[in-house]
């Protein structure tokens, strides 16, 4: 027998009732599901069920609350209403988990009398990553089941597998075979055995006698990485309540923290990025049903910094890859760098030796360009940044690669259309712009050339996804989205140094804002000689940067750049740099003054926002949120700040326009004149969030 609301199916298997959540694709706990669960529990109770099994249909148990219901008037019943009914049930309610049990989904399972699970899966409370705390008792029940380990799970938001959950103590049994059948049998046996189930809320054994010193030490360690973000601190406070307050009071504390955080700016920013990352996968001109070409072997041309990282990314995710180099020596170096990198991870205990073996076996090397390329379904070229070299390589790729193979370039600045013109298959050419280190950074800008086909883009996106990257499709221009925007920050860095700031002032302001690393420390890490070479090629100057490079200060690799570095590569402000800066300012007759932190922040962020607006006008990015996703995933922008365009919106575009106009005037930098899009939106009282996306060429 099966009936129910449509969102919860109710089946009866002898004396055990089964409530099956059926809200595809991921069984979020929308209003109808909560109502269906409540009805089902009442009906099972009325029918005298011996036990009730809660299970998810489809891919998993439940991915949690329906986030689109946030911020709207709440419809009853609430999750706590459902949990009250579970906890009041005479018959034990057993959650049967397969796949994901996340957020509210796991909280539902924690309110049950017992939990069983299929092997694997992901069980966790990721709310912290959306800027709030679990809001339906998760922070009170999980510690009562597993003690201090709950703090780590809740503050990090990282899920665990069913096996790990069993080891920690919040899954009672991992069951093999078909889960519903096995769970019904398990519940029936358990009920028949007269086993007494202790509800999480009634347990005290894991939280009593817990010295709070251990709690504080664990909390401090966990919070060390979260800096300005509020939700990890909120999680610590909520879990602390589990250890120090009675259950009901703890729930109230959790609820208060949830309400405060969920309505705050940080949570709004984190949800903006979360939904933005999904939105970015919908690409104008690439219908959702576009079939990617099958890619079974990737060939990477060049085994340098980027080629090595790209090859590692592929092998890390099980995609066979060949690295091509010009000589046996260069190839050996490239392959060794990959192996040494994996070995370091093994040595640190974060990678199993057999996993390293598996990855190494997927990575081959070759100095026979033609033979290697013939086997490729996708080629990513990562040789020197030189148009003549790239065109020569693409001409050769076109001759050797099988028809239908996709040819991509990792160029940071060069024109994809010109590169494609060296081939007879421009529709199969695109950019795949990885970020350094390519095996670590999640961002992948996929560059659409004038002739790139939808299928080529879909193929690059499919491979990007398979190797753990976050794709953003961008248009063809110098620097694409990320580098083009940060490029507009550079002149302001120079001017600020000249007018009165020191490197440590600029980096302090940006790091206090939440950036992983300030722009000058980042320059030192990347190598100041790279920027100098670009300026030389373009015939531009940056008096202070040039003076620093002229002293042989190339950054970390020479032990000195904008800072001095000790043997542990720890940076120190350097009086010599201050002297260089003062000398240049004097020579240029600039009177230095004290510059406020707010001015530093605005002069670094506003030029990026302004260029972002131009990027939108030109259709280089399809949506403002695509730009934010680029910065969060590729440039160390804290997700809880939402990205540059989100920042501009929270400032208000009228303010953005006025401040840009002011700084354009004050600094004589024409780049700071407000972009027409900002002028228009500000005049209309609009924002980036609500603007209509410009039509994008297919």
Residue 325 is a binding residue for ligand NAD (CB under 6 A)? yes
Closest residue (Cβ) to ligand NAD?
304
In the complex, least distance from residue 335 CB atom to ligand NAD, rounded to whole angstroms: 11
CA dist 314 and 296 (Å) reads 11
Spatial distance between the Cα atoms of 603 and 494, rounded to a whole number of angstroms? 11
610 in contact with ligand NAD (CB under 6 A): no
Residue with tokens 């972009």: 675
Radius of gyration of the chain (CA): 28
Binder of ligand NAD out of 67, 173, 185, 330 (CB under 6 A): 330
93 strand-pairing partners: 52
| Cβ 138 to ligand NAD shortest distance, Å | 40
Which CB atom, from 305 or from 336, has the smaller least distance to ligand NAD?
305
Given 9, 66, 127, 602, the catalytic residue: 127
Rule CB under 6 A: choose which of 118, 411, 522, 687 binds ligand NAD.
411
Contacts to ligand NAD from residues 435-454, by CB under 6 A = 435-436
Q: Quick one: 384 or 388, whose CB is closer to ligand NAD?
A: 384
Q: How far apart are CA 478 and CA 55, in angstroms?
A: 52
Q: Which of 643, 644, 638 is nearest to 226 (CA)?
A: 638
Q: Within positions 279 to 308, which residues make up the interface with ligand NAD, using CB under 6 A?
A: 301-307
Q: Should residue 326 be labelled a site residue for ligand NAD when binding is judged by CB under 6 A? A: yes
Using CA atoms in the order 458, 463, 466, 467, what is the torsion angle rounded to 10 degrees?
-140
Q: How far is the CB of 325 from ligand NAD (least distance, A)?
A: 5
Question: Which DSSP symbol is given to 676?
Answer: H
- Residue of 27, 313, 412, 522 that binds ligand NAD (CB under 6 A): 412
Q: Which of 508, 554, 498, 556 is nearest to 531 (CA)?
A: 554
CA distance 493 to 504: 12
User: Least Å distance between CB 526 and ligand NAD?
Assistant: 7
Nearer to ligand NAD, 135 or 365 (CB): 365
* 573 beta partners: none
Task: Specify whether 107 is catalytic.
Answer: yes
Closest to ligand NAD by CB, 254 or 385: 385
Residue 509 neighbours by CB under 8 Å, 6+ apart? 518, 597, 600, 601, 604
* Cis omega (within 30 of 0) for bond into 437: yes
DSSP for 639-674, written as a single string: GGG--HHHHHHHH-HHHHHHHHHHHHHHH--GGGSP
Token pair for 498: 């000249």
Told to check if 474 binds ligand NAD by CB under 6 A, we report no
Cis status of the peptide bond prior to 599, with omega within 30 of 0: no
Among 86, 171, 335, 383, which residue sits at the site for ligand NAD (rule: CB under 6 A)? 383
Least separation in angstroms between CB 489 and ligand NAD: 17
The C-alpha atoms of residue 613 and residue 19 are separated, in whole angstroms, by 50
Beta bridge partners of 389: none
Two structure tokens written together for 284? 């104008």
The CA distance from 51 to 189, in Å, is 10
Q: Using the rule CB under 6 A, is 393 a contact of ligand NAD?
A: yes
Maximal C-alpha separation, the chain? 91
Segment lying near ligand NAD (by CB under 6 A), choices 85-93, 122-130, 319-327, 637-645: 319-327
Beta strands per DSSP E along 106-264: 114-117, 122-124, 173-174
Residue closer to ligand NAD (CB basis): 447 or 681: 447
Closest CA to 636 of 451, 482, 434: 482
CB-wise, 361 or 440, nearer to ligand NAD?
440
Q: How many residues does the chain have?
A: 698
Phi and psi at residue 66, in whole multiples of 5°? -85, 105
Count of residues touching ligand NAD (by CB under 6 A)? 23
CA dihedral 248, 251, 257, 259 (to 10 degrees): -110
Site for ligand NAD in 207-266 (CB under 6 A): none
320 near ligand NAD, rule: CB under 6 A: no
- 127 is known as an active-site residue: yes
In angstroms, how far is the first alpha carbon of the chain from the final one? 51
410 binds ligand NAD (CB under 6 A): yes
Q: Does the footprint of ligand NAD cover residue 65 (CB under 6 A)?
A: no
Structure tokens at 415: 């024109």
* CA–CA gap between residue 126 and residue 26 (Å, rounded): 15
**For residues 168 and 301, which CB has a smaller minimum distance to ligand NAD in the complex?**
301
Our CB check for ligand NAD shows the closer of 383 and 664 to be 383
> Which residues in 415-434 contact ligand NAD (CB under 6 A)?
433-434
φ, ψ of residue 106 in degrees (nearest 5) = -70, -35
In this chain, which of 350, 384, 566, 695 binds ligand NAD, going by CB under 6 A?
384
101 binds ligand NAD (CB under 6 A): no
Q: 211 or 384, CB closer to ligand NAD? A: 384
Write down the catalytic residue from 107, 230, 381, 499. 107
Q: For residues 374 and 395, give the distance between their C-alpha atoms in angstroms, rounded to a whole number.
A: 14
Piece of 36-44, 269-277, 323-331, 538-546 that binds ligand NAD (CB under 6 A) = 323-331
Contact 187, 94 (CB under 8 A): yes
Residue 401 CB, nearest distance to ligand NAD (Å)?
14
Q: CA dihedral defined by 417, 418, 424, 429, rounded to 10 degrees? A: -40
Contact 426, 418 (CB under 8 A): no
Q: Footprint of ligand NAD on this chain (CB under 6 A)?
A: 301-307, 324-326, 330, 382-385, 393, 410-412, 433-436
Catalytic residues: 107, 127
């Amino acid at each position: 027998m099966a009936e129910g609301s449509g969102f919860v199916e109710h089946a009866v298997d002898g004396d055990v009732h089964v409530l099956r959540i059926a809200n595809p694709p991921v069984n979020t706990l929308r209003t109808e599901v909560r109502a269906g669960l409540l009805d089902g529990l009442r009906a099972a109770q009325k029918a005298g069920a011996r036990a009730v099994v809660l299970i998810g249909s489809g891919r998993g148990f439940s991915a949690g609350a329906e986030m689109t219901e946030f911020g709207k008037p709440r419809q009853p019943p609430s999750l706590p209403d459902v949990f009250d009914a579970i906890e009041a049930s005479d018959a034990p309610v057993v959650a049967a988990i397969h796949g994901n049990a996340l957020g509210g989904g796991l909280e539902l399972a924690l309110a049950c009398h017992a939990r069983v699970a299929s092997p694997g899966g992901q069980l966790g409370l990721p709310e912290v990553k959306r800027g709030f705390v679990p809001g339906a008792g998760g922070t009170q029940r999980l510690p009562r089941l597993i003690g201090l380990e709950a703090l780590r799970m809740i503050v990090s938001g990282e899920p665990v597998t069913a096996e790990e959950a069993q080891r920690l103590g919040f899954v009672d049994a991992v069951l093999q075979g078909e889960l519903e059948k096995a769970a019904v049998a398990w519940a029936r046996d358990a009920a028949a055995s007269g086993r007494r189930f202790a509800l999480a809320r009634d347990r005290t054994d894991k939280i009593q006698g817990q010295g709070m010193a251990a709690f504080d030490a664990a909390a401090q360690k966990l919070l060390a990485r979260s800096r300005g973000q509020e939700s990890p601190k909120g999680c610590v406070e909520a879990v602390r309540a589990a250890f120090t307050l009675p259950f009901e009071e703890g729930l109230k504390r959790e609820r208060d923290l949830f309400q405060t955080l969920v309505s705050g700016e940080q949570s709004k920013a984190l949800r903006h990025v979360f939904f933005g990352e999904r939105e970015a996968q919908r690409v104008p001109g690439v219908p959702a049903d576009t079939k990617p070409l099958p890619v079974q072997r990737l060939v990477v041309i060049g085994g340098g910094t980027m080629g090595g990282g790209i090859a590692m990314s592929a092998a890390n995710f099980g995609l066979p890859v060949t690295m091509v180099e010009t000589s046996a020596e260069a190839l050996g170096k490239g392959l060794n760098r990959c192996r040494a990198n994996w070995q370091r991870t093994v040595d640190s205990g974060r990678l199993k030796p057999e996993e390293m073996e598996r990855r190494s076996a997927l990575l081959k090397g070759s100095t026979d360009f033609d033979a290697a390329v013939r086997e490729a379904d996708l080629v990513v070229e990562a040789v020197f940044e030189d148009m003549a070299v790239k065109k020569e390589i693409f001409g050769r790729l076109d001759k050797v690669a099988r028809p239908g193979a996709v040819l991509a370039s990792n160029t940071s600045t060069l024109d994809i259309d010109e590169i494609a013109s060296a081939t007879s298959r421009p529709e199969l050419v695109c950019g795949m712009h990885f970020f350094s280190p390519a095996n670590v950074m999640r961002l992948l800008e996929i560059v659409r050339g004038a002739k790139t086909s939808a299928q080529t883009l879909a193929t690059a996106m499919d491979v990007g996804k398979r190797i753990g990257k976050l794709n953003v499709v961008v248009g063809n221009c110098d620097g694409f989205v990320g580098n083009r925007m940060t490029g507009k920050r550079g002149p302001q860095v120079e001017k600020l140094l000249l007018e009165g700031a020191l490197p440590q002032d600029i980096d302090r302001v940006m790091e206090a804002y939440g950036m992983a690393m300030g722009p000058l420390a980042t320059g030192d890490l990347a190598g100041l000689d790279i920027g100098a070479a670009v300026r030389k090629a373009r015939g531009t100057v940056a008096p202070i940067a040039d003076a620093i490079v002229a002293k042989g200060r190339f950054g970390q690799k020479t032990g000195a750049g904008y800072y001095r570095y000790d043997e542990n590569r720890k940076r120190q402000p350097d009086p010599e740099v201050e002297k260089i800066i003062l000398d240049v300012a004097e020579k240029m007759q600039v009177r230095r003054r004290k510059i406020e932190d707010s001015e530093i922040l605005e002069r670094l962020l506003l030029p990026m926002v302004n260029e972002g607006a131009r990027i939108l006008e030109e259709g280089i990015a399809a949506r403002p949120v695509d730009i934010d996703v680029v910065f969060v995933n590729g440039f160390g922008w804290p997700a809880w700040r939402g990205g540059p365009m989100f920042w501009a919106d929270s400032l208000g575009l009228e303010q953005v326009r006025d401040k840009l106009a002011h700084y354009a005037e004050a600094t004589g930098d024409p780049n700071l004149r407000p972009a027409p899009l900002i002028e228009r939106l500000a005049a209309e009282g609009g924002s980036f969030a609500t603007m209509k996306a410009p039509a994008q060429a297919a």
